[in-house]
Structure 1
Amino acid sequence: MTATSFKPSGWTLLFLLLSAMMILMGGAAVAPALPLISQAFPGASETLISLIITLPALAIALTGFFIGALSDKFGKVPVLVASIAVFTTAGSSGFYLNSIYAILVGRFILGMGIAGITCTTSSLIACYYEGITRARVLGYQAAAMGFGVLILETSGGILAGISWRAAFLIYLIGLVILVGIITSMREPAKPRFEEKERSSDETFPASPLLAAYITLFLGNMLFFLLPTKFPFLLANLDAARVIGENTALASGIFLGISGCASSLIGVMYGRIAWRFRRNTILTFTFVFFGAGLCILGFASSLITVGIGVVFIGIGEGILMPTILTWIASITPKQYLGRASGGFSVALNLGQFASTLAIVPVFVIAGTYRNAFLACGCVAFFFALPYLFAILKEKYGFSGVNPVNSKVEI
């Protein structure tokens, strides 16, 4: 799959974006079915059932950097093809497995597939595209992630309305994407010898990347309260029973609305990055998260629930391309696989930590409403360092804060 002068086509972009749809919600596509799965396995605790959503994230956190290094060494397209195959096979395994522990093993393997998808799609975009086109495509990638929430969560909710097992069939979408990748993508050309010599002094930018990874970890920890705890919050809301006692479909619809908001903001991201500096964008990101979570904590009607999930979707839609462009702008191409592996690790550590962090919060808060309110306040607190950085630059120093430059394209 190697070509010396391959130019990506429209089909290449399409299947890159379809692959990116799996990144954010690949592990959470069956989230609307969680209450039904809990009923099917009454001996399993709620925490154990939640691992169906978060265990893939742990697998990605443990294997993401390693798989990213493999893609640097053996090729990004071959790793992407193998990852999509694993995604499809392991993801759909919950349809026929009868043990909760066997299902969890399948979910861990699914996570390894998502790790490969995350690493390779981000690094392929950085290799295939340059300049303003790259910034635009990274915005499209973030939009595709949000659209994936809309498609996967809504479809998962519809399938969960049939049975909790049927929800796992959503992963068969990987078959279509696999065929498209094989027919439309080729391995990016390797740098010429002279380019390699000029870049021999370049090293992996571990310290600059750490700030991006921490930001992504905190943001995704907040965002992932939606797929893991929102279905339980909605199940306790009387207004959600307007379409029946089974609230799985309603959960899927609202999670899909959140994804739609992420998609719309992703499409507009190029304009946002052009006008605002990075710390300004990140301040608004956590403000949107905080507002959305607090609104859900106070929500008593479906309208307020909708407003809350839209705010959270906007926050995620801003966060993802900001981090991706940040990484692409500071990482030499020969290290993009590893840097993208670190991105997948931070992304999914945040998802996994979300389930663990909510446990003591819920114990103290006592209800899902209060837990969402508490997490909203935490989100506002996370916005403060970026707000202080803006104020420091404006009133304290004449120079530009290196992490507060405009998002480079």
Structure 2
Amino acid sequence: MVITPFKPTKFQPTRWTLLFLLLSAMMILMGGAAIAPALPLISQAFPDTPDSLISLIVTLPSLAIALTGIFIGLLSDKIGKIKVLVASVAIFTIAGSSGYFLTSIYALLVGRVILGIGIAGITCTTSSLIPCYYEGPTRAKVLGYQAAAMGFGVLILEMSGGFLAGISWRAAFLIYLIGLVILAGVLLTMKEPVLPKIERNTAESDEKFPLSPLLLGYITLFMGSMLFFVMPIKFPYFIANLDAARILGENTALTSGLFLGIMGCAASIIGIFYGRLAWRFHRYTILALTFICFGIGYCCLGLATSLVAVAFAVICIGLGNGLLMPTILSWIATITPKQFLGRASGGFSVALNIGQFASSLVIVPVIAIAATISNTFLTFGCVAVVLALPYLLAMIKVKGKVDLPQTVKIEN
């Protein structure tokens, strides 16, 4: 199967272009949380620092992305998406790996803020390049591949982070050097897409940024992201306190990374088949299933006492996240004129990462009331089931309908 590029673009994306787009997308979801398995070890290295401050190592990049995403999206529309992507991957690599050398907790946190700026640029540019390069069912397929790449990023980054954390908590930061490979690939395989001339003439000049239609998608992404990011924040501590998790030894960082990797693998598998789902079911049906998967996963995790139960739970959560990302991205691509895709992708970046950062804030009162991490997972599971209800109702109203763009021919 040969992927047919969007016809008005002069640059013809190749399979190598697609590969490095997907490798870049790996950084979107877990770039900030790649060192999550090392959090208990970092807590031990800084015994006078409260856990709430340690958790900012994972969530501060999300706050930085939320604060800068819109502006970087606008910048990419103005000066070019490839320029912003190259600069962002460079920032990602340097700021991410800086944790290996820094000795102060506050210096680490500053580095995480700068890392977030890099991830914001990667999110905005990769999410807008795909709709510029590809159309119709090809676009839906590539967006599914992007979700698979995000899940695969969880698998690679979390397992590698857990392995490196077994050496030392500082070594976990070296995982960010993968950015060097991605930077070289972007420079060699990508060029700036050219928007169709029809979108620049006076007939199209009255098109406006569709903020109101996008708001529901952004709110959905915020809630889903907040639910999902409970995992990298609290799951390593859950595993550290689970007797069954000591199957690989007393250092549970590798075990934690392994299960977070399984979660990412589940997201990757559903992402690969997302194109087929998108052309058979309405987005509301897929989003209802998304929150149901989150609900089942967190409730099972809250009740889990064995590794089998934990594995089932993380697979459900991974499936939910694998459905969420491409559905929202497809929603954005469907209703947004291409000249506004950078801005719309910036909004995607903001919603995604405000949700991630908010999860660290919401967890504090929830765990204070729930008393244990297991009860906290149960609470979030119930919240997820409640969030599925509006989409179940909407699904009934639009039963049998799909809302993707008109199909285009795919070459075999």
Q: CA deviation at 1:392?
A: 4.3
The equivalences for 1:70-81 within 5 A come to 70-81=75-86
Q: Which of the numbers 340, 348, 358 marks the counterpart of 1:343?
A: 348
Establish whether residue 7 from structure 1 lines up as the match of residue 18 from structure 2.
no
Q: CA deviation at 1:408?
A: 4.2
Q: Which of the numbers 242, 251, 257 marks the counterpart of 1:246?
A: 251
Cα distance between partner residues in 2 of 1:76 and 1:147: 24
Establish whether residue 406 from structure 1 lines up as the match of residue 395 from structure 2.
no
Establish whether residue 309 from structure 1 lines up as the match of residue 314 from structure 2.
yes
Cα distance between partner residues in 2 of 1:69 and 1:179: 25
The equivalences for 1:125-274 within 5 A come to 125-192=130-197, 195-274=200-279
Could you tell me which runs of 5 or more consecutive residues in structure 1 were left unpaired when the two chains were aligned. 395-399
Are the aligned partners of 1:87 and 1:114 in contact in 2 as well (CA < 8 Å)?
Answer: yes
Deviation sequence 1:158-189 (CA, Å, 0-9, x none) = 00000000000000000000001001000001
Q: What amino acid sits opposite 2:83 in the alignment? A: P
Q: CA deviation at 1:294?
A: 0.5
Q: What amino acid sits opposite 2:44 in the alignment? A: Q
Q: Which of the numbers 386, 389, 396 marks the counterpart of 1:391?
A: 396
Cα distance between partner residues in 2 of 1:28 and 1:175: 19
Cα distance between partner residues in 2 of 1:43 and 1:259: 33
Cα distance between partner residues in 2 of 1:134 and 1:180: 21
Which residue is 1:373 aligned to? 378
Cα distance between partner residues in 2 of 1:408 and 1:201: 21
Are the aligned partners of 1:322 and 1:407 in contact in 2 as well (CA < 8 Å)?
Answer: no
Q: Which of the numbers 113, 122, 131 marks the counterpart of 1:117?
A: 122
Q: Which of the numbers 93, 98, 102 marks the counterpart of 1:97?
A: 102
Give 3-state SS (helix, strand or coil) of 1:275's partner.
coil
Give 3-state SS (helix, strand or coil) of 1:66's partner.
helix
Cα distance between partner residues in 1 of 2:122 and 2:202: 30
Are the aligned partners of 2:132 and 2:195 in contact in 1 as well (CA < 8 Å)?
Answer: no
Distance 1:238 1:137, change over 3 A: same
Which residue is 2:5 aligned to? none
User: How many residues are paired up?
Assistant: 399
Establish whether residue 45 from structure 1 lines up as the match of residue 50 from structure 2.
yes
Q: CA deviation at 1:198?
A: 2.6
Matched residues, percent identical?
Answer: 70
Q: Once structures 1 and 2 are overlaid, which stretch shifts more, 185-194 or 347-356?
A: 185-194
Are the aligned partners of 1:325 and 1:408 in contact in 2 as well (CA < 8 Å)?
Answer: no
Give 3-state SS (helix, strand or coil) of 1:204's partner.
coil
Distance 1:338 1:243, change over 3 A: same
Q: CA deviation at 1:278?
A: 1.2
Which residue is 1:397 aligned to? none
Which residue is 2:332 aligned to? 327
Q: What amino acid sits opposite 1:376 in the alignment? A: G
Q: What amino acid sits opposite 2:216 in the alignment? A: A
Q: Which of the numbers 91, 109, 126 marks the counterpart of 1:86?
A: 91
Cα distance between partner residues in 2 of 1:236 and 1:175: 36
Are the aligned partners of 1:326 and 1:408 in contact in 2 as well (CA < 8 Å)?
Answer: no
Q: CA deviation at 1:405?
A: 4.2
Q: CA deviation at 1:192?
A: 2.2
Give 3-state SS (helix, strand or coil) of 2:300's partner.
helix
Cα distance between partner residues in 2 of 1:171 and 1:122: 21
Cα distance between partner residues in 2 of 1:176 and 1:355: 31
Q: Which of the numbers 15, 23, 30 marks the counterpart of 1:18?
A: 23
Could you tell me which runs of 5 or more consecutive residues in structure 2 were left unpaired when the two chains were aligned. 1-7, 407-412
Cα distance between partner residues in 1 of 2:317 and 2:161: 20
Deviation sequence 1:202-260 (CA, Å, 0-9, x none) = 10000000000000000010000111100011111000011111100000000000000
Establish whether residue 292 from structure 1 lines up as the match of residue 289 from structure 2.
no
Cα distance between partner residues in 1 of 2:201 and 2:315: 46
Q: CA deviation at 1:316?
A: 0.2
Cα distance between partner residues in 1 of 2:289 and 2:94: 39
Q: What amino acid sits opposite 2:24 in the alignment? A: S
Cα distance between partner residues in 2 of 1:190 and 1:224: 35
Are the aligned partners of 2:156 and 2:261 in contact in 1 as well (CA < 8 Å)?
Answer: yes
Distance 1:99 1:245, change over 3 A: same
Cα distance between partner residues in 2 of 1:26 and 1:142: 14
Root-mean-square deviation (Å)? 1.4
Distance 1:392 1:138, change over 3 A: closer
Q: What amino acid sits opposite 1:177 in the alignment? A: I
The TM-score with structure 2 as length reference comes to 0.95
Distance 1:371 1:107, change over 3 A: same
Cα distance between partner residues in 1 of 2:201 and 2:34: 42
Q: CA deviation at 1:390?
A: 2.5
Cα distance between partner residues in 2 of 1:319 and 1:408: 19
The TM-score with structure 1 as length reference comes to 0.95
Which residue is 2:3 aligned to? none
Cα distance between partner residues in 1 of 2:398 and 2:19: 40
Establish whether residue 283 from structure 1 lines up as the match of residue 288 from structure 2.
yes
